[in-house]
Amino acid sequence: MHANCEQYDPAKIEPFWQDFWENNGTFRTSDPDERPRFYGLDMFPYPSGAGLHIGHPEGYTATDIICRYKKAKGFNVLHPMGWDAFGLPAEQYAIKTGTHPAQTTAANVENFRKQIKQIGFAIDWTREINTTDPNYYRWTQWIFLQLFRLGLVYVDERPVWWCPELRSVLANEEVVQGRSEVGNHPVERRNLRQVVLRITAYADRLLDGLKDLDWPESTKRQQQAWIGRSEGAEVTFTVDNKARPTVTVFTTRPDTLFGATYLVLAPEHPLVDSITDPSRQADVDAYREKARAKSDLDRTDLAKEKTGIFTGAHAINPVNQARIPIWIADYVLASYGTGAIMAVPAHDERDYEFAKEFQLPIQRVIEPGKSKGNGHTPELPFAGEGKLVHSGDFSGLTTEEGRKKITANLESHDAGKTSVNYRLRDWIFSRQRYWGEPMPMLWVDEEAWKKASANRETIVGRALPEEAVTSNLDGDVRYALPIPPEQLPLTLPEVETFQPAGTGESPLATIPEWLNVWFNVETGETISQDESKPEGDAWVPARRETNTMPQWAGSCWYHLRYMDPDNADALVDPEKEKYWQSPDLYIGGAEHAVLHLLYARFWHKVLHDVGAVSSDEPYRKLFHQGIILGTDGEKMSKSRGNVINPEVVIDEYGADSLRLFEMFLGPLEDMKPWNPSGIEGVHRFLKKVWRALIGQDGQASDKIVDEGEETPETLKALHETIHKVTGDIEGLRLNTAISQMMIFVNHLTKAQTIQRETGKAFVQLLAPFAPHMAEEVWARLGGEPGIANAPWPEADLSLLKSDSVKYVVQVNGKVRGELNTAKDTGKDEVLAEAKQIDKVASFLEGKTIRKEIFVPGKIVNFVAN
């Protein structure tokens, strides 16, 4: 059985085998069995209207090669695919066109699925998932309930990035140089009511878990820096005015406190308005307005010009009672630490530059313990360790001793305490959008909340935290109650407009029949307030949460749902989860280091804590594929016009050529430009394979024989190739595996005959890379379709041993020639043969050999003068 063509014709061969795999369930994964298991996972795509471009298949192809190889090695392989389909792009399209996001998403998914199947990936399509499917997001909402029950959900007024054009809050990571990552619109700071997840409660575990992960070190470093754990002290400064408010700062260097000559508050700090001198209010307001438009990255850039404004207020330094000025400056972030810093310009570069710019005092309080260089005191700023000076009773102490004793002194006077700080902020989980998972949460008054609390053991109570989640809604304090799991999924209602209200709430706030409900605090039932209130005290009026979840929610746990996608009773069956555990290989972009990868680790640890999963980490081994650039060397984008559609390449060269070329461009992790002329080369290679093994009549080539034995040269070359390709696949050195196969095919084209089993063994090696052609050639050589089920060939290492050795021949330590000789050749004979090499002989002519150095199997060196 094979495609109906005599010559190599990808247009006929590839659809034939794609249909074969689908109709025969070739890559359908069985539930737990006795075989070893392998789970290969790709970061699932967002199904945009633009479809795949040529860069998308790179990581998918690499995973596919590994999964096909593991299947051939006898593993039970899970290789799934799904769609990360909630989020801004579909909603923005809906706003512009009026098309429901569900329709747009369905059309985009269909196109993506078609394109991915066209490339021939070994995917179990029966496990396909979609984050917008209520049967999927029911369990996303269930996870939210676990977070709620553990006290990891709260509501707070937060300074957030607000995009007026998108009418939505954006996470810090979604803002690039003061503009939205989606749409490139200007953003600003605004205080809004936000549902927040307490990811900081897991900061230490997120840090500690990194050390055992097989991840790129650069990604682990990014997460470490993002979490940013630092030990130090909190110090309380009193503002010198009638109200005597206090400002708390965090510092890792309390030993420098005597050198603090001014305070700096973030422009968003809540004290700014109350402490600013009226004469300076206009200037302060203008400065704060400018700061609102800057991203955190821009504000903390060390190379940028320092800006700030004096508030007219002063604070009292608690260690020496010095009266120091209070400034605001945009390099201090409200989202980090306490939103205020004590500035020690003598011992911090940023503070030093700021002090020089605005002519503020600079007081040295540390000198090196030992003199440096010529004995001069080092120039300021000096950020190192040493001894304290100008520090009152603490002068003379080492900086380490000073940190401890100054902190203890602060604690004894209620002016400070030891503290651990994190750069990581709690996760703002709200989005003012329609196209997202509704939060399974209701708002009730205090009396209703108390009724629910009294029924803690009932359906509702299982998800009630000990401490109430409160918010100020419509001028009244409201209390949050969760929808019980039995009432999930909470589905999205139909809306007349997808345009966010622009007031901080999503379009869901405009649907009163969905928004306002009667809620039974004993059973968890809800009915619309359009209906009459049912009888009984358990029914209370309630208002649904209108914010939806961010796109990250569905991608935090999707790797688990692939294990058990149709389970209506649990997120994943415990036995299946224990069998598959977590992906053995996860391939995706490095740009997700502190977004998806950090959020997924947080959620997975929560799921481990509630007993839903058996492991503490979601992804054991992570690999980042490089970016394939456009032919102009720039990142592919529609705006640059350098995007290449994979369908165009497939139409001309076939999917196997596309797969091979993307892997042959260079090391998988490297960034490399697309080279349209290069694909011609790999296409010629595939045609060369065909000509070597298949004749003009479409049957096995005349070279293919069944009688006799393979020649020693071909047998050795074959097993060298098996050994090399196997090792390269295991090490993800896929470009060099292809190089080795090219070398072997060159050998086959020169061979007089080829044993049928040699040809079949080679196409088994080729199959993970170019599966359609390999299936076709395998079938024409008499193999049982399909090749994906054939066991991987094993290298006979005894055939790789060489009967000869190569000596490097040197004269006075410089290489002058090489000598190949039999392994058992004696020393004297090797030395004699080496002297006969023309170039060696010319350098020895007229000289006396003083010494002959002989290293068996490696080097001969003649020392002569």
Residues annotated within a binding site for ATP: 638
Per the structure block, which two tokens stand in for 38? 């392998």
- Looking from the CA of 776 toward its CB, the CA atoms found within 13 Å total 29
Count of Cβ atoms closer than 10 Å to residue 814 Cβ: 8
Annotated binding site, which residues?
638
Gap between the Cα atoms of 824 and 834, Å rounded: 16
Burial class, 639, CB count within 10 angstroms (exposed 0-12 / middle 13-18 / buried 19+): exposed
Residue 707: burial class (beta carbons within 10 Å; 0-12, 13-18, 19+):
exposed
Q: Evaluate whether 659 touches 729 at the Cβ level (below 8 Å).
A: no
Q: Which two tokens stand for residue 145?
A: 């309930």
Compute the distance between CA of residue 167 and CA of residue 169 in angstroms, rounded to an integer. 7
E strand map for 614-751: 622-624, 628-629, 672-673, 704-705
Residue 480 pairs in a beta bridge with 443
Q: What CA–CA distance (Å, rounded) separates 205 from 351?
A: 32
Give which of 471, 498, 509, 479 is closest to 192, Cα–Cα: 471
Strands 476-482, 470-473: pairing kind: antiparallel
**What string of DSSP letters covers 11-61?**
HHHHHHHHHHHHHHTTTPPPSS-SS-EEEEEE-PPP--TT---TTTHHHHH
Q: Rounded distance, CA 523 to CA 510, Å? A: 27
User: How do strand 37-42 and strand 76-78 relate by DSSP bridges?
Assistant: parallel
The number of helices, as runs of H, and strands, as runs of E, in the chain is 27, 35
The answer to whether 776 and 782 have CB atoms below 8 angstroms apart is no
Residues in the chain: 865
d(CA 212, CA 367): 40
Task: List Cα–Cα distances, 222 to 216, 288, 591, 670, in angstroms.
Answer: 10, 30, 10, 19
Listing DSSP states for 361-382 in one string gives -----EE-SS--TTSPPPPSP-
What is the distance between the alpha carbons of residues 345 and 326, in angstroms, rounded to a whole number?
A: 14
Virtual torsion, Cα 695, 696, 699, 703, nearest 10 deg: -20
Q: Structure tokens of 713?
A: 């040269």
**Burial degree of 451 (CB within 10 A; 0-12, 13-18, 19+):** middle
Distance CA 384, CA 386 (A): 7
Residue with structure tokens 């052609």? 773
